[in-house]
C-alpha cells in the first residue's frame, strides 16, 4: 500500500481500531483532537518540504517510526548525509495558538518547544548518570529539552494567528495589529502562506547559555543564565 492510496489507508485504520468511518470527520474536528492531529501532520509537512529542497542523490530524508525506549528521544524527521553517513535530527514544533504580539515595531511569536511527556522519577534516575546531570536539576527541568535531544527545530508560525470560536474550535483569525507583519506575505491566501513558511533554529542557538543571552524562568533553577536547557517558548 503506497502513500498515494490514502482512501484505503483510512478505511483500514478505521477497521483496525473499530472507528465508524462515517464519524471520522466528526472525530477529527473535535477541539481536543485538532491540535494533536495538526502537530503530528506538521511533521509530514516538514518531511515533504525538506525532500523537495535537498538533492536525493546526496541526502536521505525519513520519518522514523520509533517505539521510544527509556531515555530514547523520538526523532520527528531524520536527515542523513549519504557521503559521510552523518545524521541530523529535526524536531517539529508549531507556534503557540494566538501567540502573535506586536510591540514597539517588533513582532513576537511564541513557539511551544517542550516535551509532550514530563520526565518522571524513573526516567530522571535513568537519564541522570547518562547525561551527567544531577537528578535534582533534571527534575526541575523535567519538561524541557536539552540541545543533545535534536540538532534543529523547525516551526511554522501559522498557529500564531488562530483564535478559538464559541464551540472551542480554533480558526485562522489574524487581528488588525498583525497585518503590519503579514504584509511580508505577498499572496492572497495568508492562512496557507503563514503555515507553509518554515523557520529553522539550531538546538544550540536556543539553549539557555550565556552566549545566547537567554535566561531560564524556572524559579528553582540554580543557574538561570547558563543551565543549558531549552526554554519552553524560545
Averaged pLDDT for residues 161-178: 89
Model confidence pLDDT, tens digit, residues 47-74: 999 999 999 999 999 998 765 555 456 8
119, 142 in Cβ contact below 8 A?
Answer: yes
Please give the average per-residue pLDDT across 80-87, as a whole number.
97
Range 144-171 average pLDDT:
92
Q: Which residues contact 66 (CB under 8 A, 6 or more apart)?
A: 72, 74, 75
pLDDT value of position 117: 82
With a cut of 80, say whether residue 5 has pLDDT above it. Answer: yes
16-25: per-residue pLDDT in tens?
A: 999 999 999 8
State yes or no: pLDDT of 168 exceeds 90: no
pLDDT in tens, 174-202: 999 998 889 888 877 999 999 998 999 99
pTM for the model stands at 0.86
**Alpha helices by DSSP H, the chain:** 6-16, 24-28, 34-53, 121-131, 135-140, 179-182, 190-196
Look up cell 527534575; give the residue: 139
- pLDDT tens, position by position, 211-230: 999 999 999 999 999 999 99
Classify the phi-psi angles of 132: left when phi > 0, otherwise alpha if psi is within -120 to 50, otherwise beta: left
Amino acid at each position: 500500500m503506497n502513500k498515494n492510496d490514502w482512501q484505503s489507508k483510512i478505511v483500514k485504520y478505521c477497521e483496525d481500531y473499530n472507528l465508524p468511518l462515517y464519524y471520522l470527520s466528526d472525530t477529527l474536528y473535535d477541539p481536543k483532537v485538532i491540535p494533536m492531529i495538526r502537530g503530528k501532520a506538521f511533521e509530514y509537512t516538514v518531511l515533504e518540504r525538506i525532500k523537495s529542497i535537498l538533492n536525493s542523490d546526496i541526502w536521505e530524508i525519513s520519518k522514523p517510526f520509533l517505539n521510544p525506549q527509556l531515555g530514547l528521544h523520538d526523532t520527528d524527521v531524520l536527515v542523513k548525509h549519504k557521503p559521510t553517513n552523518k545524521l541530523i535530527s529535526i524536531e517539529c514544533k508549531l507556534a503557540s495558538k494566538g501567540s502573535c504580539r506586536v510591540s514597539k515595531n517588533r513582532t513576537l511569536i511564541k513557539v511551544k518547544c517542550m516535551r509532550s511527556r514530563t520526565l518522571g522519577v524513573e526516567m530522571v534516575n535513568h537519564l541522570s548518570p547518562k547525561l551527567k546531570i544531577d537528578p535534582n536539576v533534571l527534575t526541575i527541568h523535567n519538561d524541557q529539552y536539552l540541545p543533545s535531544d535534536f540538532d534543529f527545530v523547525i516551526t511554522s508560525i501559522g498557529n500564531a494567528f488562530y483564535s478559538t470560536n464559541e464551540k472551542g474550535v480554533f480558526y485562522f483569525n489574524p487581528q488588525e495589529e498583525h497585518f503590519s507583519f503579514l504584509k511580508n506575505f505577498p499572496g492572497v491566501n495568508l492562512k496557507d502562506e503563514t503555515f507553509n513558511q518554515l523557520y529553522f533554529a539550531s538546538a544550540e542557538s536556543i539553549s539557555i547559555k550565556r552566549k545566547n543571552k537567554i535566561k531560564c524562568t524556572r524559579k528553582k533553577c540554580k543557574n538561570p543564565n547558563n543551565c543549558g536547557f531549552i526554554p519552553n517558548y524560545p
